A and B are shown apart, each in its own frame.
Chain A
Amino acid sequence: MTRATIRFAALVCVLAGLLASPNARAEGGLERVKRAGVLRWGGDLQGGEPFVSQDPGDPTRLVGFEVDIAAGIARVLGVRPEFVENDWSTLVPSLERGGFDVAMNGLEVMPSRAARVSFTRPYYVFTERLIARKGDARVRASLAALAGLRVGTLASSYAFELLRDRSEVVVYEGTEEPYLDLERGRTDAVLLDDIIAARYGEPNPALSVVGDVAQGYYAVAARKSEPDLVAAIDGAIAQMAASGELEAILRRTALWSAREEKLASWTPADQLLMTGGPASDAPPAGMTPRHVLLFIQGALMTLLVSTLAMMLAVPLGLSLALARRWGPRWLDLSAGFYVELYRGTPVLLQLYVLYYGLAPVVRINALTAAVLGLGMNYAAYEAEAYRAGLQAVPRGQMEAAVSLGMSLPLALRRIILPQAFRHALPNVTNDFIALLKDSSLVSVITVVELTKQMTITAVDVRGWLLPGLLCAALYLAMSWPLSFVARRLETRLARG
């Protein structure tokens, strides 16, 4: 074996070790929790009030009905609760990896989740609430009536499962943005859990509730390999429901209604119905040709956004570089300010401002905002690449050009820019490849591109490995030829 193959083999071993499930432990889950004296529960503070959030009066303290329920469960188990912050969209994979003992943060019970983790009996019965603009008669309170409409919801949510294949779904990552876009007419309706609708949608005077179209449950999720922990938490919730403690907790955050009475009279049959049949050992759905097609669509969207953004960034960046090198002082200063502003602030923030922040002034669609946002951001980097390229052209070239009677624009076009471009090309190529990958950020303004498609598919097929590899392969398939063409171009230019 050569040294390279040994190194490769070692790398494979390390990767295999990382991928191996850490769940295989001799000790049971309940035993571990009791020995540690701590029930570590995962959630996302960003979900905000009333789930889990920082106490506005004392930010070191957490408040919310889930905090109280976790405390109740821990008390019954005889341990102390400990909150672990984790991005909401990755709660399930983090639970599987062993980041915490249970996940509890508005996790809706649905078949795709029930196949990966075990759910306890529910601690809250929610409804999917449909909200539309006031007086919009097209939106009626049934799922069937949503066919063909543009409906906003959260990624990986129960509502998303209900809407896909039925409506044109617009996927958001935050709870406020769906209602902002609805108000501005970018969508026709928003379907989300009643708690979110009540907090973020209903207070908006331009919107009104159309009705509740489905019912579902929040329950505590635990690893499938730890049925003893699930049983213990089941017992704890049952005890809290029977004693009226659960009702008191839900009443404190105004979440109690008649439908929550079901929580106290929960039966094993209800549990079976909720999780979509007997705990299935059926293999996960797996990737289908349809998924691959969606991936290719996502890749094309990535390519479209990146290419259009680069087509904007290159001329804009060039203008900025020229303004800084040869423009009058005020233009030089403005261009310098532009570059510092766009390089010095996160592109994510720029996309938010462009799409949500400016919406009251100019209403542009998501794809346009994505192209403009990325293009204007990358223009700042292109400006620097060209500036370096311009600086690399010796002074004498410009002197020779003007001494032959060339005007400044002619000298730039014929003599300086072709040479500057040659110096800048490696950086411009790097930037385009970086842009291909940065384009995944536009998913925050509801554009579904390759990375977003991967996270959606990962939930579908209950695994990250295959979608992740396919996603990586598609990114490589786009960036590799680009590097190749750029190298060829560099060689060709270097000859001249």
Chain B
Amino acid sequence: MITIEKLAKSYAGGGPILRGVDVTFVRGQVVAIAGPSGAGKSTLLRCINGLEAFDAGSIRVENDTLVPGGDRTNAQALAAIRGRVGFVFQTWNLFAHRTALANVMEAPVHVRKTAVSEARARAESLLERVGLAHRANAYPHELSGGEQQRVAIARALAMDPAALLLDEPTSALDPSRKGEVLAVLRALAESGMTMLLVTHDIAFAREVAHRAVVIAEGRIAADGDPKHVLAPEE
């Protein structure tokens, strides 16, 4: 469902970060994207939903294609892609001035124009799914990191995405808080959600991922069964 061809990108004033990435992701797969820091994992993910522009190549999500530059030609494709692909950030980025419930309701109500009562019921059930029904009226600063990340996952799910992009979702968390987020992700994986998971957590990747892609120096270094591609941590 996501096809990436010859994707290349350099940061202004810096060296190339992606040097021609070709990869295809299929529906229903959980793919772990691993590799050393600075190899381009997060950049690849951020290019897919247009948080970063790229210099060459293309990204196709179902029937919509992003090409380099030309914000205007990309705008329509980008809107369509963002409607179908959810993004979960390393640092959550919950809307600081809204409660947990309002964070989850925000996009369905204002982007998709879902009726408020319907959006509220859906948001409540999503918060329950991530184990936070009791924190619905809390503001982000009143929640722990793990709780905020779980709300952020619920917020992404509220748009009924066909795929979820997760950018190191647990690496900013205290070790004691990682488990609760991993449990949510494990349940999501079991439900058949398509997920691209950038992670350093090799054990978790080996456990939930159907496939692992290793990126090194801006290229695909390995692609295959996580049990083979990812060496267990010493």
Contact = CB atoms under 8 A, between A and B. Distances in A.
A145 B220 CA distance: 96
Interface in A404-437: 404-407, 410, 414-415, 418-419, 422
B89 A404 contact: no
- Sorting the interface of chain A by its residue count into under 10, 10 to 19, 20 to 34 or 35 or more gives 10 to 19
A403 B207 CA distance: 28
A413 B101 CA distance: 19
Interface stretch (B5-13, B53-61, B104-112, B176-184): B104-112
Contacts of A403: 49, 51, 82, 86-87
Nearest to B103: A400
Interface in A390-409: 394, 396-397, 399-407
Contact of B51 (A394, A399, A410): A399
Contact of A400 (B95, B112, B159): B95
Interface of chain B, main secondary structure: loop
B97 interface: yes
B155 interface: yes
Interface in B39-61: 49-51
A389 to B, nearest CB: 13
Contact of A496 (B49, B112, B139, B152): B139
B97 A404 contact: no
A410 B111 contact: yes
Interface string B64-108: 000000000000000100110011010101111100000000110
Contact of B97 (A401, A405, A407, A418): A418
A405 B79 contact: yes
B94 A404 contact: no
Contacts of B159: 404-405
A402 B93 contact: no
Nearest to A400: B93
Nearest to B158: A404
A397 B96 contact: yes
Interface of B: 49-51, 79, 82-83, 86-87, 89, 91, 93-97, 106-107, 110-112, 139, 152, 155-156, 159
Which 7 A/B pairs are nearest by Cβ-Cβ distance? Answer: A396-B93, A400-B93, A404-B107, A403-B87, A405-B82, A405-B111, A405-B83
Given A403-B87, A405-B159, 20 more contacts: A396-B91, A397-B93, A397-B96, A399-B51, A399-B89, A400-B89, A400-B95, A402-B51, A403-B49, A403-B82, A404-B86, A404-B106, A404-B159, A405-B79, A405-B83, A405-B112, A406-B110, A419-B97, A422-B97, A496-B139
16 contacts: A396-B91, A396-B93, A399-B51, A401-B95, A403-B87, A404-B107, A404-B159, A405-B83, A405-B111, A405-B159, A406-B107, A406-B110, A406-B111, A414-B106, A419-B96, A496-B139
